[in-house]
Structure 1
Amino acid sequence: MIKESLKIHGHRQFEIKQRVSFDHAKTKNIKYQVETYFFLPVALQINPQSYSTKEFQKSLKNYVRLSPATHKLKYFYKKKGMLEKLSIELEHWSIESPEIEYYENALKRVALTYKRSLRLAVKSLLKAPNQKTEDNILQLLLDIEKTIKAYRELEIKCRSIEKKITSNAFEYCDEYISWVTTFYLRKLITERAIPCRAEISHAWREEINYREQEYPESIAKPGESNEEVLHRWSSLRRYINRYLFLDINHRKGAPLLLHTIYATIAAISMSITLFVMLNIRGGQYADISMKVFIALVLAYIFRDRFKDISKRKMQQWFQRWLPDRKLLIYKEGVKSPIGICKESFRFIYYGILPDDVKAVYQQANDGFLTYTEKDVDILFYKKEVHLKNQPNLFEKTRFPIADISRFNISDYLRYIDIAFEELPFLEEDETPVLGEKIYHVYMIRRIRLNSDQNVATELVRLVINVDGIKRLEVLKSLDFSKEQDASFQDLQ
């Protein structure tokens, strides 16, 4: 199952996040395919002549992120809980020094799991009015206090290990936990009709005071730019989250097959030249005349043109099996790749669109001046992801994988020259009225899981102007078949 969300990042970027779910026990390989069709108005002049696939690759960023496990806050400090298990590991590492990655990842895992657990606990309180009781609030504050206390009691063990391996992971994770705690306590304080407001405010102030004492550089000051504070938080968050992100190594798509095709074309081309040389004048060409010389030159020119034209044709024929880019996916600490992502970028014409994509596109404008194939250029992006479900690789959570893509539309704005345009009126003495100049870019996405039956289609409209993305509208949400949802529920 795939759950998807879209959101705008600034004026020039939008993000698509796909959270992938699978059965940890039964699934050996996780496979899914995403086809994205961009319907671009011709006025934007984004076409094969002005916009290459390499430019599109530069405007696209892909990330694959794992999700931390889901636990209740009590799991951190209870007997045989997460922090007690970490304490046992630290005692072992104090005798035998661990690799720095294993040590730091163990602490990062605690920090990230704590953030997820706290976020879900606060979200549950805020979304369900019947959960906003004094008992629940006090229990949450107690769980937070005990969890943080249990983590900070590990400081002595961590410091002794960090002297040997040169690391500040405990300090960084401690500051991160403090940041996260104050952030979510602040969300509770600002909620209307929340009970125990004084107790929540006291817990929030205690954690702020702790950071002022231990990490004064992390405290923002009113009336100042606080750029260093923001930079510190961004760097800290990036350091902690690095544990979740998988490494992506770029490769060219199917180079062996591509070189085999080129070699075959070159062999055919050279055979044509040799055939001409060996057959002119009955095979006797020791005394080459001018006519023979010209014939050989023409044969070589023909061979060269034949080779170039054949390359283009063969690429078009084999484009289905020749990805433009291959991404090898690695996990920190695992030498061999745990997955692969194959990407294809190209412009296509309307006639080869799948029938279901055509049907969705025809409904995009509710029957009002629906664009025809002459009014749009269609940019096609295809992504095939194959991940291996290795033991101890993915945390046992419902959506262990987040596949994130970010598109930058700066190139789409190159030929937008005006922000407003005067509207026509019948009367000459009417005061001119301006209308904002906007363009609609439709995006249809088809997602296929493992088998062809598990297909879902989504329709999105990007409204853009001279400044960038004005809004993003989901006209048709991603919706898999009920049969698939039922089969997924059986696996849980």
Structure 2
Amino acid sequence: MLEKEDILDSKFSAHDRHRLEVKLDLEFQKDKKSLYNIEYYFFLPQSLNISQESYSKEQFYAGTQHYIRFKTPDISMEKLFMPANELSPFNKAMKVLDEISSGISGSFLEETAVDEMKLLGSIIRANLRDAVEYISKTSGHILQNQRAELLMREIRLTQEALSSLKEKIISCGASQKIKDTFFALDEYISLMIGEYLTDLIKCRQDKKCEFEEDLVKEMQTIVLAQRNYRKAMGYSSVLKNGGINDHFLYWRGLLKKFISSALYLNPQLSDLNLLTHTGPAIAAGLAMLFAIIVTIYAQSKYAINSAAFVIIIVLSYIFKDRIKDWLKIIFSKKMTAWLYDRKTNVTEPAHNSRIGYIKETFSYIPAGLLPEDIKKIRKSDNKKSIEEEAKTERVFKYKREIFLNFEKIEKYHKRRKTLIDILRFSIADFIKHADEEIVPYDYFDEKTNSVVEEKCSRLYHINLVIRYNTKERKTYYYERLRIIATKNGIYSLQEVK
């Protein structure tokens, strides 16, 4: 039965031309330790020539990227700078700087100040993004202007707060690391203010937003003021008009990664995986046992130097290798519930504490072994009976088992609790054998009374069914996505309800 209720909030997007990005929100559970089972079933057209020989699990893992991070804490701009808010990273950073100013020192204080300033930058950026997104999607002149005016006030409040933080850092004798972190924060927020206000100016320019003229002029003034401020400070995030800005995006990306590092956990791939080799080891042992039994039998019946003995031994070794390969395939299919290809330990970087793990498994699924519920969901949008016969597909499954110890997370973090699991799949290897994207097609045009040529796009439908549950909730939940691709990459994404 297809469940409509979700236990994981999912988001799908094309990260770029060749990579699909899947984001899953792992909410804080009442049970202190939670286990999430997530299975991705990929259905690929046979015409793409995907098989165990042409596409291995090593290629699949090489084409995936994995991140796990905290969701940005939901603190509004107003509450962020309220003096009484003990959860505000701005207030926490100011408190640490007061302690440093009073003569207290140590690496813990330094790391706390750095972490709080990074978190402050992440929260400010999230508030700017959400405000601009709300304004852009809101219809109505009055609502757009009201929210934009509020955003202007929030930006002024942010600028005043950063100015006071800067004065405190300079006057308190902070370490160079704290100063460097602040200047990175200062540059990043200046850049974000400029970028998001530029988006609103363009929204009005494209006649999608109806801002008052005075409001637009204020936006333009702030954008130019921030640009001049970055120039005066000697920051690198300044575009050269008419020049080649070969350093700009690199530095912008560096600032973003540095500030957002306060939200990211540290995944460490485990080198030791004895269970993975259990199946092949059992297969090799049973195959060897068969060869030894045949050898003992042959010795009891025939002389060692006889032709019959030699033939039996040669055949036994031939069958030994075949038996080993057959058993390896059988074990890989039957033991995937508790065997895995690789294991990643998830560590909380600030305290270097292990808070969970991720186990991954990849396997091809023959049509006869495909679970009935997955088969039903895959076929659910077939409009005609011929579709099922015409769409011959190869199926492989990628399974992720995510264990999280929320008790440890809660011990270290009062504001960062919800986790986001981010996966990026590359389809580049899927479309290596695809035909050219644009195909000419001749047809008779009654208007010109002649045969004309039209260009058609050759599209491939890669279907993805996601099945998941948790240890606490055994019922399966589902997502369905269609990746429409061409030889040049992702053409579009469609969520199938």
TM-score with structure 1 setting the length: 0.83
| CA–CA separation in structure 1 for the residues paired with 2:298 and 2:460 | 62
Shift of 1:43: 0.8
| CA–CA separation in structure 2 for the residues paired with 1:392 and 1:203 | 41
| CA–CA separation in structure 2 for the residues paired with 1:304 and 1:355 | 34
The match for 1:402 among 420, 424, 429 is: 420
Aligned amino acid, residue 225 of structure 2:
E
Matched, 1:221 2:235: no
**Is the contact between residue 442 and residue 452 of structure 2 (CA under 8 Å) also seen in structure 1?**
no
Shift of 1:332: 0.8
The CA deviation string for residues 173-202 of structure 1, in whole angstroms up to 9 with x for no partner, is: 121121122223334444433355144443
Aligned amino acid, residue 380 of structure 1:
K
| CA–CA separation in structure 2 for the residues paired with 1:74 and 1:166 | 25
The match for 2:184 among 172, 176, 179 is: 172
Shift of 1:141: 4.2
- Name the residue aligned to 2:4: none
Shift of 1:315: 2.7
Shift of 1:245: 1.7
**Is the contact between residue 45 and residue 460 of structure 2 (CA under 8 Å) also seen in structure 1?**
yes
Alignment map for 1:402-441 (pairs within 5 Å): 402-423=420-441, 425=443, 430-441=451-462
Shift of 1:223: 2.1
| CA–CA separation in structure 1 for the residues paired with 2:20 and 2:291 | 53
Q: Structure 1 pair 256/125, CA: closer, same or farther in 2 (3 Å)?
A: same
Q: Which moved more, 1:213-222 or 1:416-425?
A: 416-425
| CA–CA separation in structure 1 for the residues paired with 2:483 and 2:388 | 15
SS at 2:122's partner residue?
helix
Shift of 1:169: 1.3
Aligned amino acid, residue 116 of structure 1:
A
- Name the residue aligned to 2:401: 384
- Name the residue aligned to 2:106: 97
- Name the residue aligned to 1:56: 60
**Is the contact between residue 155 and residue 193 of structure 2 (CA under 8 Å) also seen in structure 1?**
no
- Name the residue aligned to 1:354: 371
Shift of 1:342: 1.4
Q: Which moved more, 1:227-236 or 1:28-37?
A: 28-37
Shift of 1:281: 6.1
Q: Structure 1 pair 395/463, CA: closer, same or farther in 2 (3 Å)?
A: farther
- Name the residue aligned to 2:169: 155
| CA–CA separation in structure 2 for the residues paired with 1:127 and 1:360 | 33
| CA–CA separation in structure 1 for the residues paired with 2:368 and 2:309 | 47
**Is the contact between residue 416 and residue 465 of structure 1 (CA under 8 Å) also seen in structure 2?**
yes
| CA–CA separation in structure 2 for the residues paired with 1:39 and 1:260 | 29
Matched, 1:22 2:32: no
SS at 2:182's partner residue?
helix
Q: Structure 1 pair 361/205, CA: closer, same or farther in 2 (3 Å)?
A: same
**Is the contact between residue 42 and residue 396 of structure 2 (CA under 8 Å) also seen in structure 1?**
yes
Instruction: Report the RMSD for the aligned CA atoms in angstroms.
Output: 3.3
The CA deviation string for residues 399-426 of structure 1, in whole angstroms up to 9 with x for no partner, is: 8211111111111221123233343658
Matched, 1:462 2:483: yes
| CA–CA separation in structure 2 for the residues paired with 1:219 and 1:392 | 41
Q: Structure 1 pair 19/105, CA: closer, same or farther in 2 (3 Å)?
A: same
Q: Structure 1 pair 373/446, CA: closer, same or farther in 2 (3 Å)?
A: farther
| CA–CA separation in structure 1 for the residues paired with 2:158 and 2:225 | 12
Shift of 1:45: 0.6
- Name the residue aligned to 1:117: 127
Q: Which moved more, 1:301-310 or 1:336-345?
A: 301-310
The match for 2:118 among 98, 108, 122 is: 108
**Structure 2 spans left out of the alignment, 5+ residues:** 1-6
The match for 1:35 among 35, 39, 46 is: 39
Aligned-residue sequence identity (percent) comes to 25
**Is the contact between residue 126 and residue 132 of structure 1 (CA under 8 Å) also seen in structure 2?**
no
| CA–CA separation in structure 1 for the residues paired with 2:171 and 2:241 | 37
**Structure 1 spans left out of the alignment, 5+ residues:** 477-492
The CA deviation string for residues 68-101 of structure 1, in whole angstroms up to 9 with x for no partner, is: 3221223333324433332221243452221564
Q: Structure 1 pair 372/47, CA: closer, same or farther in 2 (3 Å)?
A: farther
Aligned amino acid, residue 180 of structure 1:
M
Matched, 1:442 2:463: yes
| CA–CA separation in structure 2 for the residues paired with 1:51 and 1:363 | 28
Aligned amino acid, residue 419 of structure 1:
E
**Is the contact between residue 66 and residue 394 of structure 1 (CA under 8 Å) also seen in structure 2?**
no
| CA–CA separation in structure 2 for the residues paired with 1:97 and 1:126 | 46
Q: Structure 1 pair 228/364, CA: closer, same or farther in 2 (3 Å)?
A: same
Q: Which moved more, 1:383-392 or 1:257-266?
A: 257-266
- Name the residue aligned to 1:481: none
| CA–CA separation in structure 1 for the residues paired with 2:254 and 2:482 | 34
**Is the contact between residue 249 and residue 327 of structure 1 (CA under 8 Å) also seen in structure 2?**
yes
| CA–CA separation in structure 2 for the residues paired with 1:470 and 1:408 | 14
**Is the contact between residue 419 and residue 466 of structure 1 (CA under 8 Å) also seen in structure 2?**
yes
| CA–CA separation in structure 2 for the residues paired with 1:326 and 1:273 | 34
Aligned amino acid, residue 154 of structure 1:
K
SS at 2:338's partner residue?
coil
- Name the residue aligned to 1:87: 94
Q: Structure 1 pair 275/193, CA: closer, same or farther in 2 (3 Å)?
A: closer
Matched, 1:130 2:162: no
Q: Structure 1 pair 154/413, CA: closer, same or farther in 2 (3 Å)?
A: same
- Name the residue aligned to 1:484: none
Aligned amino acid, residue 456 of structure 1:
Y
Shift of 1:446: 1.9
TM-score with structure 2 setting the length: 0.82
Shift of 1:301: 5.3
Shift of 1:377: 0.9
Shift of 1:379: 1.9
Alignment map for 1:238-387 (pairs within 5 Å): 238-251=257-270, 255-272=273-290, 275=293, 289-290=305-306, 294=310, 299=316, 302-367=319-384, 369-372=386-389, 375-387=392-404
